[in-house]
Amino acid sequence: MIAPLHLAGEPGSQPRPFDRPRAERAVRELLAALGEDPDREGLLETPARVARAYQELVAGLHDDAARHLGRVFSQRSEDLVTLSDIEFTSLCEHHLLPVTGRAHIAYLPANGQVVGLSKLARTVDVFARRPQMQERLTAEIADAIVEHLDARGALVVVEGEHSCLALRGAAKRGATMRTVAARGWFERDAELRAETLALLLGRGR
């Protein structure tokens, strides 16, 4: 079995618990560094609010895909399962700015093992809700499905709008980054992959 890749810090280490007082101190320090007065009235509650917001945005660090994908149930069919347009919010690990978008998942069950659709959606959040790169997010979702469901294949497409591209630097709003991870049969069978991609991304809904 492959060691979980989604834990923070050193390989195999557990992420430290979220330290809210420390996050609040850091936000206060950032405000001061920006040239603001953290003691002016409008900013007094800001460190606490920002810390709570970041706690939500990194909640996936303290969750585990196995917890969701481990709850398989048996079904006689081993036909393709897809779930499109799973909304997510993530955090670009280079700028700590939000990435918002949609994930689309297809998998081919093996041994009749399937999961509830909500578990697929939860799995997206486990990997999205942390400092992340979109390429890694896509790969981690696909790998988790193959690992925990023993699936014959997984195909994951992630479409993300990156605030760091929209708001700063090149300042291009409305650009969508698309990443694809194909595992198992989807990696080997180009026709299956193309058909399934068309199904996942079928527009006009």
Q: Which residue from 23, 51, 58, 92 is in contact with Zn ion, where contact means CB under 5 A? A: 92
Phi/psi of residue 81, each to 5°? -120, 135
Answer yes or no: are the C-beta atoms of 108 and 80 closer than 8 Å.
yes
What is the nearest approach in angstroms of Zn ion to the Cβ of residue 146? Answer: 28
What is the nearest approach in angstroms of Zn ion to the Cβ of residue 91? Answer: 9
Instruction: Please say which residue, 57 or 92, places its beta carbon nearer to Zn ion.
Output: 92
Instruction: Please say which residue, 11 or 169, places its beta carbon nearer to Zn ion.
Output: 169
User: Which residue type does 105 have?
Assistant: I
C-alpha pair distances (Å), 32 with each of 3, 25, 28, 40: 41, 11, 6, 11
Q: Which residue from 95, 102, 136, 152 is in contact with Zn ion, where contact means CB under 5 A? A: 95
How far is residue 131 CA from its own chain's centroid? Answer: 9
Q: Which residue from 30, 66, 164, 177 is in contact with Zn ion, where contact means CB under 5 A? A: 164
Looking at residue 2, what DSSP letter applies?
A: P
- Residue 22 interacts with Zn ion (CB under 5 A)? no
What is the nearest approach in angstroms of Zn ion to the Cβ of residue 29? Answer: 22
Question: Across 93-137, where does the E strand assignment appear?
Answer: 98-108, 113-114, 131-132
Which span (1-9, 46-54, 84-92, 118-126) binds Zn ion, by CB under 5 A?
Answer: 84-92
What is the nearest approach in angstroms of Zn ion to the Cβ of residue 103? Answer: 18
The alpha carbon dihedral of 35, 39, 44, 49 has a sign of positive
Q: Other C-beta atoms within 10 Å of 99: how many?
A: 24
What is the nearest approach in angstroms of Zn ion to the Cβ of residue 166? Answer: 10
- Residue 136 interacts with Zn ion (CB under 5 A)? no
Binding site for Zn ion (CB under 5 A): 92, 94-95, 164
